[in-house]
């Protein structure tokens, strides 16, 4: 029997059910959470990202859910990622965990854009992009605070690196 | 009539003024230079290079032709077909024109690779000089002794004849390189940066990709280098044919079909891709394996038994297949290039900074050890690229990791590591970048010779194909990420064209390979060669090992990038004349003759 493909937003809703928001909140060790401040006097991209470190158990648990979320509907092939707001500057955001590929926006700290900001405000948001689509879905911790956003994207070239 | 000059291969000439671009050169005018290049000395089985610079007359570059005749000696001759001519292409760098790309010259008719067409495309403002690079190959069966011949330059209806006197030594450069000059790059940058491939969605299936890629491998091979093409992105994904297709999961996972992978890589591994090159059909000495954090094992299983099941089974299958194919002359590298800065994995497999990431070495050695410890069949080795943690790791992991590719500055802080790694049977390379185009050509010869002097095996340029979209004006990073350029858009060549710096690398590699071979035959060989290099480059005693920085007592994750600029570094004196390499060659040829 032919089944109807899951909507990308529905896949995101299912994925978020299994994402431990507390782990995303603490994905970096305490001394690295505000890592840009460690090299505030450097304008080198490499010097900045050399400071990135993760709590491996938290990272791996989240990565596993992202990889499995990408497989919820075998007729679709989205890639997933988790965004956070920078704790030292919430007007900025950064992808923290990527599933099978990186969002096209890349890995560096950048300004929030409207659709992502809306999701950080609690509103699951769809973004139609040329031939592809992205959905953003809020991720909450065990205190029900929004600590990140799940991105699912399909038919948009991921970042090549 | 224009005036033409034969000049040596360690300088470049401004196309507007005719002055030497290397500020440190001892001789800086064309008339003086032309008088110095009357006699060339070379071992057999080697290229000897020089340049022809032509002062343009009223007709500009129209109708300029170059013709070499066979060089004749008492014992035979070296045919005119051993000469190759390349037009020098000029790039705008720091308000000057520097030649770097070399376009194989087609002297017949007015085709896209005639000197006049190339110059017209290049569009150098107020061009008053044109230059051609000349490679002369001296075959291995040439007899030692003196040869004479002439090279004629025709311009404006008149012809100038330059006598060439060649002294061929008895010694021969070995076909197989003793030092590895490793040109690293990342799949599939060749497609991304080559118009004809980028626009062809069936390039991996219709064979066009393989043909083009082979031209890069062949060009590297002919210049005594190894193209080293990492097959996977940081995500672990690979383009088609860079890994065999798999089927099944868990205990059922296996290779479904080797055919496309074998078609892609087989010619490099049996050497047939290099048929017709001067060095011959030598299999590539090293090759990356496609294994990574997310291939073949599913990273969703990382830390579970199924991850081991998938990883170990496919590696065993690789080893069996490679052995059956007879690919026994290549070292196949398990290398984990992932970096946590890209947020795809929580570990640095490459250049470990946070010491707790060293567990990756232990985990993946354990997953692979059944194959890595095999004594028969294809050679699979674990490779690491080390910088921050090299001082902490060389002793600890010498028995697991057999290829160490080390940041050249940090390597110089640990002379004691050489003996430790050597005793464990490890290969050692250092890594850095190609030199910028505006840097003296002398800097390019430094790395292969440093490897000889330090007693290590090679040197890596971390990137070699990132020429940039407007390379024909100014290459990306001023050429420090490319030693080739694409030939398709401007010149209709389905493959790369070389650079002057690649030619300079080959000159240095010929010297380094002769030195390395001689060292093996002489009890005090390394000392004597080290002294020759030090004398030529005016290096002080101990220059290769400049000491340790004062921050080594801190863990690497507390180091800051800015500390490195003041830390000890083995480097070349920037005021040295480029002719220092000519002096070294002369010294070496005298020792070997």
Mutate to test the interface with A, among B185, B193, B344, B557 (most CBs of A within 10 A): B344
Q: What's the rounded mean pLDDT across residues B59-82?
A: 92
Q: Determine whether the interchain pair B342/A102 forms a contact, defined as Cβ–Cβ distance below 8 Å.
A: yes
> Is the CB of residue B131 less than 8 Å from the CB of residue B105?
no
Dihedral sign, Cα of residue B187, residue B190, residue B193, residue B198 = negative
Write down the pLDDT at residue B108.
64
| Cα distance between residue B499 and residue B216, in whole Å | 13
List, edge to edge, every strand of the sheet that includes A132-140.
Answer: A110-111, A89-98, A79-86, A146-154, A132-140, A125-129
Q: What is the pLDDT of residues B218-244, one digit of tens each?
A: 999 999 999 999 999 999 999 999 999
Q: For A61, phi and psi rounded to 5 degrees?
A: -65, -45
Over 50: is that where the pLDDT of B388 sits?
A: yes
A63 close to B (CB below 8 A): yes
Q: What's the rounded mean pLDDT across residues B96-123?
A: 88
Give the chain A residue nearest B351 (alpha carbons).
Answer: A50
What one-character DSSP code corresponds to residue B435?
P
| Cα distance between residue B211 and residue B218, in whole Å | 11
Q: Which regions of chain B carry the CATH code 3.20.20?
A: 180-529
Q: What's the rounded mean pLDDT across residues B44-50?
A: 97
| Cα distance between residue B221 and residue B509, in whole Å | 12
Q: What is the pLDDT of residues A126-141, one digit of tens each?
A: 999 989 999 999 999 9
> Higher-confidence residue: A38 or B573?
A38
> Is the CB of residue B49 less than 8 Å from the CB of residue B507?
yes
Over 90: is that where the pLDDT of B573 sits?
A: no
What one-character DSSP code corresponds to residue B556?
G
Q: Are strands B145-155 and B129-138 parallel, antiparallel or unpaired?
A: unpaired
| Cα distance between residue B459 and residue B432, in whole Å | 8
A60 close to B (CB below 8 A): yes
B570 pLDDT band, cuts 50/70/90, is confident
| Cα distance between residue B461 and residue B526, in whole Å | 24
A31 close to B (CB below 8 A): no
Between vectors from CA B20 to CA B18 and to CA B23, what angle results, nearest 5°?
Answer: 145
Q: What's the rounded mean pLDDT across residues B43-64?
A: 91
* Other residues' Cβ atoms within 10 Å of the Cβ of residue A34: 15
Q: Determine whether the interchain pair A53/B340 forms a contact, defined as Cβ–Cβ distance below 8 Å.
A: yes
Closest-CA residue to B241 (of B214, B275, B280): B214
Q: What's the rounded mean pLDDT across residues A3-30?
A: 96
The structural domains of chain A, with segments of one domain joined by +, span 8-154
Q: Which residues of A touch B562 (CB under 8 A)?
A: 42, 47
What one-character DSSP code corresponds to residue B57?
B
On average, the pLDDT of chain B sits at: 95
- CATH label, B180-529, candidates 3.20.20, 1.25.40, 2.30.30, 3.30.450: 3.20.20
Q: What is the pLDDT of residues B286-322, one digit of tens each?
A: 999 999 999 999 999 999 999 999 999 999 999 999 9
Distance, in angstroms, between A106 CA and closest chain B CA? 9
Q: What's the rounded mean pLDDT across residues B35-54?
A: 88
Mutate to test the interface with B, among A27, A53, A55, A108 (most CBs of B within 10 A): A53
| Cα distance between residue B124 and residue B165, in whole Å | 33
Query: Thinking of the domain A8-154, which architecture would CATH place it in?
Result: 2-Layer Sandwich (3.30)
* Other residues' Cβ atoms within 10 Å of the Cβ of residue A6: 17
A88 close to B (CB below 8 A): no
Confidence (pTM): 0.96
Distance, in angstroms, between A143 CA and closest chain B CA? 25
| Cα distance between residue B581 and residue B443, in whole Å | 10
Closest-CA residue to B464 (of B101, B185, B102, B182): B185
Q: Determine whether the interchain pair B340/A107 forms a contact, defined as Cβ–Cβ distance below 8 Å.
A: no
Residues whose CB falls within 8 Å of the CB of residue B277, separated by 6 or more in sequence, listed in order: B218, B221, B222
* Other residues' Cβ atoms within 10 Å of the Cβ of residue B85: 21
Mutate to test the interface with A, among B294, B300, B353 (most CBs of A within 10 A): B300
Write down the pLDDT at residue B82.
97
Q: Determine whether the interchain pair B192/A47 forms a contact, defined as Cβ–Cβ distance below 8 Å.
A: no
Q: What's the rounded mean pLDDT across residues B357-371?
A: 98
| Cα distance between residue B543 and residue B83, in whole Å | 39
Mutate to test the interface with B, among A52, A107, A153 (most CBs of B within 10 A): A52
Q: What is the pLDDT of residues B198-225, one digit of tens each?
A: 999 999 999 999 999 999 999 999 999 9
Q: Which stretches of B455-567 are DSSP H helices?
A: 488-491, 500-521, 525-536, 561-564
Q: What is the pLDDT of residues B399-428, one digit of tens each?
A: 999 999 999 999 999 999 999 999 999 999
Write down the pLDDT at residue A1.
62
Distance, in angstroms, between A103 CA and closest chain B CA? 11
Helix or strand holding residue B585 (H, E): helix B579-592
Bridge partners for B6 per DSSP: B52
Residues whose CB falls within 8 Å of the CB of residue B31, separated by 6 or more in sequence, listed in order: B5
DSSP B404-415: EEEEHHHHTT-T
Length of chain A in residues, anyone? 161
Closest-CA residue to B317 (of B282, B278, B291): B291
Distance, in angstroms, between A85 CA and closest chain B CA? 15
Over 80: is that where the pLDDT of B36 sits?
A: no
Q: What is the pLDDT of residues B114-171, one digit of tens each?
A: 898 999 999 999 999 999 999 999 999 999 999 999 999 998 788 999 999 999 999 9
Write down the pLDDT at residue B1.
46
Write down the pLDDT at residue B562.
81
A67 close to B (CB below 8 A): yes
Upper half-sphere CA count for residue B6 (Cβ side, 13 Å): 22
Helix axes B500-521, B579-592, angle to 10 degrees: 30
| Cα distance between residue B534 and residue B550, in whole Å | 27
Instruction: Confirm or reject CATH 2.60.40.10 for domain B4-172, answering yes or no.
Output: yes
Write down the pLDDT at residue B466.
97
Over 90: is that where the pLDDT of B541 sits?
A: no
Over 80: is that where the pLDDT of B74 sits?
A: yes
A4 pLDDT band, cuts 50/70/90, is confident
Write down the pLDDT at residue B263.
98
Write down the pLDDT at residue A145.
98
Per DSSP, which regions of chain A are E strands?
Answer: 79-86, 89-98, 110-111, 125-129, 132-140, 146-154
């Amino acid at each position: 029997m032919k089944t109807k493909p899951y909507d990308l937003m529905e896949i995101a809703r299912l994925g978020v059910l299994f994402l431990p928001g507390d782990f995303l909140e603490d994905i970096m060790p305490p001394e690295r959470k505000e890592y840009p401040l460690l090299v505030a006097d450097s304008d080198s991209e490499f010097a900045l990202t050399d400071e990135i470190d993760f709590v491996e158990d938290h990272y791996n648990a989240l990565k596993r859910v992202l990889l499995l979320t990408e497989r919820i509907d075998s007729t679709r092939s989205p890639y997933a990622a988790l965004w956070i707001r920078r704790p030292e500057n919430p007007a900025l955001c950064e992808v923290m965990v990527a599933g099978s590929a990186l969002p096209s926006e890349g890995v560096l700290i950048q300004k929030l854009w409207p659709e992502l900001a809306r999701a950080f405000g609690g509103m699951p948001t769809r973004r139609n992009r040329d031939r592809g689509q992205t959905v953003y879905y809020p991720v909450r911790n065990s205190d029900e605070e929004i600590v990140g956003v799940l991105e699912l994207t399909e038919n948009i070239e991921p970042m090549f690196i | 009539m224009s005036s033409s000059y034969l000049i040596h291969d360690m300088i470049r000439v401004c196309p507007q003024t005719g002055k030497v671009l290397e500020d440190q050169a001892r001789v800086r005018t064309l008339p003086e230079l032309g008088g110095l290049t009357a006699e060339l000395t070379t071992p057999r089985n080697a290229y000897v290079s020089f340049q022809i610079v032509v002062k343009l007359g009223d007709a500009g570059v129209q109708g300029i032709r170059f013709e070499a005749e066979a060089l004749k000696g008492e014992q035979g001759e070296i045919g005119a077909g051993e000469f190759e001519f390349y037009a020098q292409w000029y790039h705008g760098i720091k308000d000057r024109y520097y030649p770097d790309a070399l376009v194989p010259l087609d002297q017949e008719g007015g085709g896209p690779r005639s000197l006049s067409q190339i110059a017209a495309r290049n569009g150098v403002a107020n061009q008053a000089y044109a230059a051609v690079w000349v490679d002369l190959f001296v075959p291995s069966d040439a007899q030692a002794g003196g040869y004479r011949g002439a090279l004629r330059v025709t311009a404006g209806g008149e012809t100038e004849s330059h006598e060439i006197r060649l002294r061929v030594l008895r010694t021969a450069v070995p076909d197989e390189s003793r030092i590895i000059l490793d040109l690293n790059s990342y799949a599939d940058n060749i497609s991304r940066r080559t118009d004809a491939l980028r626009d062809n969605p069936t390039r991996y299936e219709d064979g066009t990709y393989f043909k083009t890629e082979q031209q890069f491998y062949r060009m590297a091979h002919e210049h005594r280098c190894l193209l080293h093409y990492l097959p996977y992105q940081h995500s672990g994904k690979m383009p088609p044919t860079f890994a065999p297709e798999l089927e099944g999961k868990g205990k059922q996972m296996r290779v479904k079909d080797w055919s496309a992978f074998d078609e892609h890589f087989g010619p490099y591994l049996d050497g047939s891709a290099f048929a017709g090159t001067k060095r011959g059909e030598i299999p590539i000495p090293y090759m990356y394996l496609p294994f990574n954090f997310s291939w073949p094992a599913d990273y969703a299983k990382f830390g579970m038994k199924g991850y081991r099941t998938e990883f170990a089974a496919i590696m065993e299958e690789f080893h069996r297949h490679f052995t059956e194919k007879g690919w026994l002359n290549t070292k196949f590298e398990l290398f984990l290039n992932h970096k946590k800065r890209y947020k795809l994995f929580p570990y640095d497999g490459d250049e470990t900074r946070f010491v707790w990431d060293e567990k990756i070495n232990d985990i993946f050695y354990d997953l692979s050890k059944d194959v890595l410890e095999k004594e028969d069949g294809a050679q699979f080795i674990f490779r690491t690229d080390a910088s921050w943690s090299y001082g902490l790791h060389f002793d600890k992991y010498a028995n697991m990791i057999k290829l160490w590719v080390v940041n050249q500055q940090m390597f110089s802080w640990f002379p004691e590591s050489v003996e430790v790694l050597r005793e464990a049977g490890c290969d050692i390379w250092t890594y850095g970048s190609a030199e910028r185009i505006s840097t003296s050509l002398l800097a390019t010869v430094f790395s292969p010779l440093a490897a000889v002097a330090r007693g290590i095996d090679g040197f890596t340029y971390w990137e070699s194909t990132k020429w940039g979209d407007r390379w024909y004006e100014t290459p990306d990073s001023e050429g420090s990420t490319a030693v080739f350029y694409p030939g398709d858009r401007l010149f209709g060549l389905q493959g790369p064209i070389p650079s002057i710096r690649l030619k300079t690398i080959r000159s240095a590699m010929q010297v380094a390979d002769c030195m390395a071979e001689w060292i093996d035959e002489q009890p005090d060989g390394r000392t004597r060669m080290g002294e020759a290099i030090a004398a030529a480059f005016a290096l002080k005693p101990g220059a290769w090992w400049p000491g340790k920085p004062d921050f080594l007592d801190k863990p690497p994750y507390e180091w800051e990038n800015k500390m490195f600029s003041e830390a000890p570094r083995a480097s070349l004196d920037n005021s040295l004349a480029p002719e220092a390499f000519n002096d070294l060659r002369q010294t070496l040829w005298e020792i070997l003759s």
